[in-house]
A and B are shown apart, each in its own frame.
Chain A
Amino acid sequence: MNKTSLLPIAAMLALMPRSAPAQDARQIMIEVQNRTRSQTEYYEGSLEVINSNQKITKKRWRYDRLGTYGNSKSALRFVAPAEVKGVALLVINHPDRSSDEWMWIPAQERHRRIAMQDRSTRFFGTDFSFEDLEERDVDQYEYKLSGDDTVDDAPCWKIVSHPKDGKASQYTSSFSWVRKDRFFLVRTDNFNKDRLIRQIVYRDVESIDGIWTARTVAVLDKSRNSQTLLTLDKVKYNLPMRDADFTRENLSK
């Protein structure tokens, strides 16, 4: 084979999207985390909860995160409507154990801890649970490739995961769809035994500060037939943030 005949092949290879070779499922998830890793994250979110009667309630919150997967702190503060302004949630994620969560209610002027037993309950009437607001660290789960699939015409790996011993979770297993071209998580189906509890879909993906970001997160609660749409605005990464901003005392500010 002469060089002339190799050229089209080389050109074709150069034009193909870069992707790491398909290794095991855990490697894929590590890559997913790596590609969305940032020191800090900030966004303002609009939340729409649509219940089974198609009634819509809207809220807005502000989200700050410091740290990376499994070792991060995040603060979520409601900014609208007026009745809920100031209600806040602080989540401190640990790599080796379950996260700590506290809530601040301005009118009561006190913090309240969200107990582990309550993590499976709905977060303030949305279809997220408190557990869904924690960050999943790859070391807390066992992963296995389940095959290939497509989501919105994009080829994806389908990975099944189970929480390891010591990781308390309401979900006994989850299926995750990861786009092969971007190593980006586009959908998660969370199960308790054989029952699908929640489906989370990440849409309107765009690159912000070099990090692929889903601008719309849709959570569907199958048992309640209700849906929550979170739209992220003003997303920024790696802004300077202080550790002191992520304390219970600071929640009230």
Chain B
Amino acid sequence: MILLRLISWQYVRQHRLRSLLTTIGIVLGVGIFVGMHAAGASVLSALSTTIDRIAGKTQLQITSGEAGFPEEVLERVQSLREVAVAAPVIEAVVRSGVEREGNLLILGVDMTGDRSLREYDLEAGDQDIVDDPLVFLAQPDSLIVTRDFAQRNGFGVASKLTMETMEGERVFTIRGIMRPGGLGAAFGGNLGVMDIYAVQKFLGRGRRFDRIDVRLKDEHSLAEGQAALSNALGPGFQVDVPAARNRQFDSLLHVYSFMVNLSSLFALLIGLFLIHNTFAIAVSQRRSEIGILRALGASRRQVLALFMTESAIIGLVGSAAGIVLGSFIAKEMAGLIGNIMQAHYGIAERAHEVRFGAGLLAASIAMGMTTSILAALLPARNAALVDPARAVQRGSNQDISRGNSRGRSAAAGMFALLAVLCVFMGHSQVVFYAGYLSFVLAALLLAPTLSVWLSCSLRPLLTAVQPFEGRIAADSLIQAPRRTSGTVAALMLSVGLVVSMGGLSRGTFESVVDWVSSFLNSDLLVLASEDGTNRSFHFPDSVTASLASIDGVSDVQRMRSNKVTVKGASVLLVAIDMSTALARTSGRVVAGNFQQMYRLGAEGKGVIISENCGLLHNLGMGNTVEVPSPSGLVRLPVVGIVTDYLNQSGTVFVDYEAVYQPFWKDPTVDMYKVYLKQGVSEQSVKQQIQTKLSRQRRMFVMLNREVKARVMSNTRQWLGLSYIQIAVAMLVAALGIANTLLVAVTDRRREFAVVRAIGAFRNQVRKSVWLEATGLAAIGVTLGVAFGAIDLLYERQIVRHDYAGLTLNYDFPVLLVFLLGVGLIVTAWISCLAAAEMAARHSMVEALEYE
């Protein structure tokens, strides 16, 4: 402690800015990790609360995919001797009709008996929460809302609320108000309860339920009840505890978690290099101080412990600050995640507050401290090896790094060789990731050597730009690799990440553009929800004939989609009119014959799957796909594989008439693709549809170009997360370069003083620092681009085999790299301002006395 106070603290005080900049790397890494995980966890926690509150006393829930099942199933369940209560449920998310409130989760229940399962009013016991239950049932516009929702919006009993339904906008009457707590806490209080049969009508659900909630008789265990229900209903139904729904949503956040972990890992790696760099320089600068300590009797272990403790404290402080930063990030991200889950997966949740679990905080601090300690390990070891006698001699230098340098090069060569070997060694996951890791380690270990080579290459260029200043800058880069290598490595990683993420984004974008052109090829699309992702609303099949009868319409293709479980994973089942698709679609075939696959599909003799479905779930041509339906298990062979981006966990296409109707008995449609006759105006047909049909019902009619623009906008939004990486790269550049140059300027006081003494102007000193910063940025960008170009090859494989099953083109982001390079060089100029000024303003006399 005394050493810390007398030595370490003094050093930090003298180099406040550098210490701050060093810490920021940890702050950033921990901040991203904490913020984004806390946001994700908060959304999941809110979802879990909603699920629990809605479940109430429910012990088991019966579902059959997302499409639900016919009402008749309810009686079968109620007749089982194990069942005490079985209540049907429909859940739907609708716009609340109140500007500030966003969505409302509508819970449709059978009001005659649902209170056996759900607590509508915990505080008031069994009192009515509905003014008149008979009127509530008799009037289908009846709605119960929570007290929170009512108070926020000035509603009371008998207030009116407009909501969107399949019959257009309808006015609903609030006839009951739930007190907070219990069910009233679900969905952040934005919950509405209606009679289930009224909900069926308003959402176009026909005579179907989404699920049945079950409570068993006391004498039967959960396992017994589950077995009895599964036996009675067959494999087309899932019988599970309410908490199982959390697992489904958890897996959907897997995508998001992957990106979060990658971002924070890179940020921490960058922080690691920055800290390593700073400590390496600090050991060098404090060499005589260390020598004196050793001469006075401090042991090697004490010196090691001193530096390790310093790094641990930096890690702790950085982690604490990172947690604070994370809290701001979390609040912003929670809303974004909720919107993405709703928009892309139709899952409803709002996280009103972000909570930081003790586990997450502990993990963050451990992560930050571990990174910092690891970073300082080698410099601390070097400090412990300082020879006291040589250290206190003026002008002498103990080179303890030469051996390290040779060792590093040898290790780099070994890892590079291993990476190459792994490419040829087969396709197992272990070999692939071993090769990837070897590549990254080889790159990191080679970075200092490559940095020196590039510095030598840059020397003629810098000298050509400014003969005097350029030579000083180039010599500084060449002669002090230790000072620059950490920053160069950090830049290489961050630029490389931008390049590979940019390449993936571009590849994905191009693939989506390609797919949109072939899949969304109809003249018009008629949707039940505005963006096509809200699966609460459906058209009755009767609309098909109405659309087909409109003048100018040539073909109408139905589409009905819902999530089902295939091989234990959630995939999208899409029912389409395959005979129309055969005539109209031109999709990219991966396996099978185009004509044959659609013909067989139309006859109900097979399914067509998406390429990512095949890759992720190990399905190929001829394999049998088993899909659970309310009428039993559907077993059909794969008759074709196509490229499709409807769902990132895979899509299975079946024919609407031949397969979907017989097994799901669901005469509803989500979307129509409308093809027009030659020469017919899209706008005029759109108007006809709106005039004849959309006045009586909820309907969104969009032109092809409008839909494409919407899809691409959504894709850009999702891919927009990758722009966070660019921001991280810019910040790293600023931190690293500023840090390095501050150290450089301090180290080179005598040099600058001599230069000034022989007649150089302040401006010339500034320019030399400025050119050194430019060189540093250029080296970092060059190495980063090379690293990223190779990394992109690995990332494409990860996306294909482990992440989303998508085959993406290798699309090097040329424009992005150019912009990034320019951006980083500008960032370097800005970040070197302080150091350049410091160098220019050093007192010559003081600096010459320094040595």
A residues adjacent to B (C-beta < 8 A): 51-52, 57, 59, 78, 83-84, 86-87, 103, 105-108, 110, 112-118, 121-122, 124-125, 130, 223-224
Contact = CB atoms under 8 A, between A and B. Distances in A.
A103 B133 contact: no
Contact of A125 (B85, B126, B134): B134
A84 B135 contact: yes
B363 interface: no
List the 5 shortest-distance A-B pairs measured between CB atoms, nearest first.
A118-B113, A125-B133, A124-B134, A84-B138, A83-B135
A76 to B, nearest CB: 12
A115 B112 CA distance: 9
Contact of A115 (B113, B128, B132, B135): B113
A108 B115 CA distance: 21
- Interface size bucket, B side? 20 to 34
Nearest to A59: B134
A27 to B, nearest CB: 35
Given A108-B201, A116-B78, A125-B128, A83 B84 contact: no
B137 A105 contact: yes
A78 B112 contact: no
User: Which of B116, B134, B139, B201 has the most CB atoms of chain A within a 10 A radius of its CB?
Assistant: B134
Nearest to A83: B135
User: Which of A52, A122, A124 has the most CB atoms of chain B within a 10 A radius of its CB?
Assistant: A124
Contacts of B133: 122, 124-125
A86 B137 CA distance: 12
Contacts of A116: 78
Given A108-B201, A223-B126, A84 B75 contact: no
A83 B113 contact: no
Contact of A107 (B75, B113, B140): B140
B113 A117 contact: yes
Interface string B120-151: 00000011101011110111100000000000
A52 B127 CA distance: 9
Contacts of A114: 112-113
Nearest to A125: B133
24 contacts: A57-B132, A59-B134, A78-B138, A83-B132, A84-B135, A84-B138, A87-B134, A87-B138, A103-B112, A105-B137, A105-B138, A108-B140, A108-B195, A108-B197, A110-B197, A115-B74, A115-B78, A117-B78, A117-B84, A117-B85, A118-B110, A125-B133, A130-B112, A224-B127
Nearest to A221: B126
A117 B116 contact: yes
A84 B135 CA distance: 6
A121 B115 contact: yes
B837 to A, nearest CB: 78
A112 B197 contact: yes
B86 interface: yes
A83 B84 CA distance: 33
Contacts of A59: 134
B75 A113 contact: yes
B337 interface: no
A83 B137 CA distance: 10
B411 to A, nearest CB: 71
A113 B71 CA distance: 11
Contacts, number: 72
A117 B86 contact: yes
Interface of B: 74-75, 78, 83-86, 110, 112-113, 115-116, 126-128, 130, 132-135, 137-140, 195, 197-198, 201
B112 A125 contact: no
B138 A107 contact: yes
Given A117-B86, A118-B116, 4 more contacts: A83-B132, A108-B197, A121-B113, A130-B112
Given A59-B134, A105-B197, A107-B138, A121 B112 contact: yes
B831 to A, nearest CB: 69
Nearest to A114: B112
Contacts of A124: 133-134, 137
Contacts of B75: 113, 115
Contacts of A130: 112
Contacts of B113: 114-115, 117-118, 121
Nearest to A113: B75
A122 B116 CA distance: 12
A136 B442 CA distance: 87
Contacts of B84: 117
A108 to B, nearest CB: 5
Nearest to B134: A124
A87 B135 CA distance: 10
A84 B134 contact: yes
A116 B83 CA distance: 11
A51 B195 CA distance: 23
Nearest to A119: B113
Nearest to B78: A115
A106 B138 contact: yes
A78 B140 CA distance: 17
Contacts of B78: 115-117
B132 A125 contact: yes
User: Which of A59, A87, A117 has the most CB atoms of chain B within a 10 A radius of its CB?
Assistant: A117
A115 to B, nearest CB: 5
A48 B140 CA distance: 24
A148 B133 CA distance: 39
A174 B78 CA distance: 27
A118 B87 CA distance: 10
A246 to B, nearest CB: 21
Given A115-B78, A118-B113, A125-B128, A87 B197 contact: no
A97 to B, nearest CB: 13
A106 B134 CA distance: 12
A72 B86 CA distance: 28
Contacts of A110: 197
Nearest to B198: A108
